[in-house]
Amino acid sequence: MRTMTSQKLTQRGFTLLELLCTLTIISILHSVAIPSFQSIIASTQRDALKQKLFTLIQYTRSKAAFQATTVILCPSTNQIDCINDWQQPLMIFSDTNDNKRRDNAEIIDRIEDIAQKNYQIRWRASGTSRYLRYVSDGSTVYQNGTFTLCPTIDNIKYISKLIIYRSGRARLGRKHEIKKTDCK
């Protein structure tokens, strides 16, 4: 004779309460994580832009000193004239006739497009703001100034500076040197 054994039915799925708790936890984590992630992205973009610009400045200075000639770093759209829009590709060339523009005989050493959609690059200098010019001793010949990296979001903690001395030395700006009005 056969006896019937009872089989327990196993529950598969979630209760409504479990589902609501899970969704609540996910939404809380989402509201905390997304702003933090955006902050990480903004600071990483700033640091990458700052490093690229700093490297180009150092390269321009060392090229001028090693080749004992005048070398210019400037934005250009036509690869001849230097313009005042630092969002454009940056050109480095030896200005052998010292006319502050590239002639056909002067070879472009590098062209770099470092612009980012979330940052604007501003160059304020005691001379012109169309270019940064280094001479054979690695100095800028009375042209000191500041590159300011201005974020499109209105937050002072993402502003950054690169300061150029007349001696040609470049350094990163310190926190106490950065003001919100630098990007106005």
What tens digit of pLDDT does each residue of 32-65 get?
A: 777 777 788 888 989 999 999 999 999 999 999 9
Model confidence over 123-132: pLDDT tens digits? Answer: 999 877 899 9
Torsion of Cα atoms, 173 then 179 then 180 then 184, to 10°: -80
Asked if residue 14 has pLDDT above 60, the reply is: yes
Task: Please tell me the predicted confidence (pLDDT) of residue 38.
Answer: 78
> Please, what are the domains in the chain?
34-183 (3.55.40.10)
Strands 71-75 and 160-164: unpaired
What is the SS3 assignment for 143? coil
How many of the other CB atoms lie within 10 Å of CB of 164?
22
Strands 90-94 and 145-151: unpaired
Task: Please tell me the predicted confidence (pLDDT) of residue 5.
Answer: 58
What is the SS3 assignment for 158? helix
Q: What angle do CA 121, 116, 77 make, to 5 degrees?
A: 70
Task: Please tell me the predicted confidence (pLDDT) of residue 12.
Answer: 73
Banded model confidence at residue 2, pLDDT cuts 50, 70, 90: low
Higher pLDDT, 77 or 116: 77
Model confidence over 76-112: pLDDT tens digits? Answer: 999 999 999 999 999 999 999 988 889 989 999 999 9
Kindly state the tokens that stand for 147. 């590159």
Burial per residue of 75-113, b for 16 or more beta-carbon CB atoms within 10 angstroms, e otherwise: bbeeeeebeeebebebbbbbbeeeeebbeeebeebeeee
CA–CA dist 45, 85 (Å, integer): 20
**Residue pair 103/83 in contact by the 8 Å Cβ criterion:** no
